[in-house]
Amino acid sequence: MGKPTGFIEYLRELPVDRPPLARIADWKEFHPHLEEKRLRQQGARCMDCGVPFCHTGKLISGSASGCPINNVIPEWNDLVYRGLWREALDRLHMTNNFPEFTGRVCPAPCEGSCVLGINDPPVTIKNIEAEIIDRGWDEGWVLPEVPKVRTGKRVAVIGSGPAGLAAAEQLNRAGHLVTVLEREDRPGGLLMYGIPNMKLDKREVVLRRIEVMEQSGIKFICNANVGDNVEAQLLLRDFDATVLCTGATHPRDLGVEGRRLAGVHFAMDYLTASTKALLDGGPEASPLHARERDVVVIGGGDTGTDCVGTALRQGCRSLVQVEIMPRPPLERAPDNPWPEWPKVYKLDYGQEEAAARFGADPRVYVTTVQKFVGDADGRLAEIVTVEVRWERNAQGQFVPVEVPGTERTRPAQLALLAMGFLGPEQPLLNDLGVECDARSNVRAEHGRYSTNLKGVFAAGDCRRGQSLVVWAINEGRGAARECDRYLMGRTDLP
């Protein structure tokens, strides 16, 4: 490393976000830039650690440890320290097609496994990554990559989320003619409608990248719902290969009394409606709005946090987030050692904003919804929650058990179900005749990505189940490599 003692000389430093009460007044991104001198100091904190766990990309105890796309993090940290920004961008793009996405929305498992993080705050890897790519865009270094030679092979990619975009870009680099089919009115999948604008700007970040991909020769067709208005079997006839990147969009439901009341919605429907309204004229036009409503978000993951941030910007009257799991500890528990992902308490952007607006973290832990209660018109009016304790069942599995006497009635006119996803939607898979595994995911071996159908590959959440954007990029790149090998008999894709 260029500064072997940097981790001793400099403290971890991040740019100060816009104040919570100021940022909930708009839908703009809230992470500012750090000045170059301080950024280079943060790059200097990257140790000469010998074995950099940050880019290992392993699953340990069910969670990611290190970067799933194997970013060569120490190399571009060192280049940033030395002020070689263009070279840093080249190193970053070598493994990551879309660092402007991961630098904004990835939970940074790389930082969780940073060697410096054993006994000091880890390197600000995620922030440095975002700064490298943002400078690249500002300087005009991100340009279309039109292949010098076309193979004549035609590939259909179904779904334009992170896996689909990664697969499309890699296959285009190999010289194939790539068509991406997206059922929504805009490309981007999860990146467009599953993540709110203040976390990932749609016009200035997502569509900017897609425009460059189009200039590189990739064709995007929107409102193309394969299995509905596009016949699935025609794809197998008209294209030389197909890559399924449809995501895991079948949401987990909550089968309790009152579930069908007006005002109870899946989180993704709510987030999609909000972003569509924002892009199509104004956020007030959303058909699912939290204005002057008591809102309950059910689920504690990233999607739940995004619902919290969205409801605050829509002007909700009150907000509660129900989490069935216990509150995490402030520091790593003995059974959660480094380099595992640190399962510790944190105040994410949405909870920070709710605390500033209402005075406290909105989350209530080890709690579930017992029933929804409606008014005379069949609209949601209240929810009844109950505390739970986790006990082992007859099979030795931990399950939540309701605690009698802990029921509580809370006002609610809008309830958002953010409890995760069960797998991909099945109609398209059934139409194609693709085999699924016991979890309803597409059956395709990791590393090979091939399904039971010749020339049909699968990547991302539809293959592995609900996961991180960075895993989706990893899988999209891997599926593109194997698809190229199938088409050409060999491949030069990484």
Token code pair at residue 171 = 């296959």
Token code pair at residue 459:
């990547």
Asked if residue 189 lies in contact with residue 230, where contact means CB atoms within 8 angstroms, the answer is no
DSSP letter for 230, please.
B
Q: Residue 334 is encoded by which pair of tokens?
A: 């003995």
Which structural domains are found in the chain, ordered by start?
6-139 (1.10.1060.10), 154-249+422-488 (3.50.50.60), 253-419 (3.50.50.60)
Does residue 2 register a pLDDT over 80? no
At 79, is the secondary structure helix, strand, or coil? helix
* Structure confidence by residue, pLDDT tens digits, 43-88: 999 998 989 999 888 999 988 999 999 999 999 999 999 999 999 9
Task: Identify the bridge partners of residue 228 per DSSP, sorted by sequence position.
Answer: none
- Name all contacts of 342-348 with Cβ < 8 Å and 24+ positions apart: 342/112, 343/63, 348/302, 348/305
Q: What would the two tokens of residue 6 be?
A: 């940097």
* Per-residue pLDDT, 9: 95
Summarised one tens digit per residue, pLDDT across range 21-31 is 999 999 999 99
End-to-end CA distance of the chain: 26
Alpha-carbon distance of 312 to 308, in angstroms, equals 6
Of 476, 401, 408, the C-alpha closest to 158 is 476
* Structure token digits, residue 125: 């890897």
Could you tell me if 240 and 248 are in contact, meaning their C-beta atoms sit under 8 angstroms apart?
A: no
Q: Is the pLDDT of residue 463 over 90?
A: yes
Judged against a pLDDT cut of 80, whether residue 290 lies above it is answered with: yes
Q: Which amino acid is at 307?
A: C
The rounded mean pLDDT for the chain is 96
* Residue 289: band (very low, low, confident or very high) from pLDDT cuts 50, 70, 90: very high
pLDDT tens readout for residues 361-396: 999 999 999 999 999 999 999 999 999 999 999 998
Residues in Cβ contact with 477 at an 8 Å cutoff, skipping those fewer than 6 apart: 69, 97, 166, 167, 170, 493, 494
- Whole-model pTM? 0.96
What is the C-alpha separation between 198 and 362, in angstroms, rounded?
A: 19
